[in-house]
Structure 1
């Protein structure tokens, strides 16, 4: 449904008639927010992963030290020490499993944040080109700005989901529920990215269709880096 809607939006570009906007665009404030928050998320995740990796090393070293102590005990001392070690090992294994699970979730969240960064980069690349393309009317550029603004606003909701996941590690949320939110956020950012790239492709196609000569067509292809 969204893909059909975006194709229809491109068609509507043909009938618009207002004046070309100045350098300031509707999407600019949202863009800066998305870029700043996404960078903040990636930095925060990197820091948390580093701390958890350090904790993993500490737990593994502590477990190794306990094994070394056990190997040096005499047989008659082992029976008294075994139950204590069982409890100790259980704690190590459970904590290690928990830490590794969190690291896996953080890595997935970081991938989502990176996809968000790719969306922003693709938007900036295409938008800067479309504003220079003389095949588009002033009103069409305005309309593109509104569509891009809508896509960026949707992507902000994904960042909200990412923060919800990060906050969930300080609550009693289950891994299953946390994974459900992660998958939902990943699917949504993929959809936003697909909408953006398809909108870009439709606009490039429109520019090609408006090229009047073969030389003009080749110029458009070169402009957008089309082989």
Structure 2
């Protein structure tokens, strides 16, 4: 399973590099990026379904726990000591399971946030790249440089997919909470860094285009082109 995921990442990276190797072409649709978004959306959909099931389980556990608590409240103090060990263990198991379920829901929601940001990263790349290709202030060599930078950022973001699946699989395998949290935090930090790098690079390119505008009219045109107030 792990090997297949790594092979998928390698294939995606190869397709990305070959796609980004054509600076003179106007890229209307980039299959590699659509694949990245499709995988991220698939993760989000799967997580939504898991969260729904866990929330239903949470309700059931809370109701079961409440029933036992009601029994406890009705028992007299001397009767509590006679309460069977089986019932005590059952109450303890419900409480522990409820805590575990709530913890997993928290993990899932964080993974969903990471996947959503990865989709925003791809969308922001597509939007900016399509604009830069139309901007007459950039020559072919500069567009090639942009592609190399974007390729590095996007390749780094692709590595998060494998890590996300690793965390999802960890709920059916042996992995400590500490290790799971460590992976999630690392992936979240990485995708945040990828997103911030991309946004900063886009801003630098827009600023360069503005600096190259020769007239006030040209400056206004560039601002309008990039949606700058």
Give the CA deviation at 1:115.
1.1
Q: Specify the SS of the correspondent of 2:134.
A: coil
Post-superposition CA distance 1:25-60 (Å, at most 9, x none): 8x9243122111110111111111111111100111
Number of aligned residues: 209
Give the CA deviation at 1:195.
1.0
Partners of 1:77 and 1:202 lie apart in 2 by 74
Post-superposition CA distance 1:54-101 (Å, at most 9, x none): 110011111122234445567776543343322111101100111111
Question: Alignment partner for residue 154 of structure 2, among 149, 152, 166?
Answer: 152
Please tell me whether the aligned partners of residues 160 and 187 of structure 2 are also in contact (alpha carbons under 8 angstroms): yes
So what's the TM-score if we normalise by structure 2? 0.83
Question: Alignment partner for residue 24 of structure 2, among 21, 26, 29?
Answer: 21
Runs (5+) with no aligned partner, structure 1 = 1-18
Please tell me whether the aligned partners of residues 30 and 152 of structure 1 are also in contact (alpha carbons under 8 angstroms): no
Partners of 2:199 and 2:180 lie apart in 1 by 29
Post-superposition CA distance 1:188-219 (Å, at most 9, x none): 00110111011101110111111111110111
Superposition pairs of residues 25-174 of structure 1, within 5 angstroms: 28-71=30-73, 78-174=80-176
Please tell me whether the aligned partners of residues 211 and 217 of structure 1 are also in contact (alpha carbons under 8 angstroms): yes
Runs (5+) with no aligned partner, structure 2 = 1-21
Please tell me whether the aligned partners of residues 30 and 153 of structure 1 are also in contact (alpha carbons under 8 angstroms): no
Partners of 1:148 and 1:117 lie apart in 2 by 15
Q: Which has the higher contact order (CA 8 A, sep 6+)?
A: 1
Q: Which residue of 2 aligns with 1:11?
A: none
Q: Which residue of 2 aligns with 1:3?
A: none
More deviation in 132-141 or 213-222? 132-141
Post-superposition CA distance 1:124-175 (Å, at most 9, x none): 1111111111111133223322322221111110111111111111111011
Distance 1:56 1:20, change over 3 A: closer
Please tell me whether the aligned partners of residues 49 and 106 of structure 1 are also in contact (alpha carbons under 8 angstroms): yes
CA RMSD in angstroms, aligned pairs only: 2.2
Q: Specify the SS of the correspondent of 2:118.
A: helix
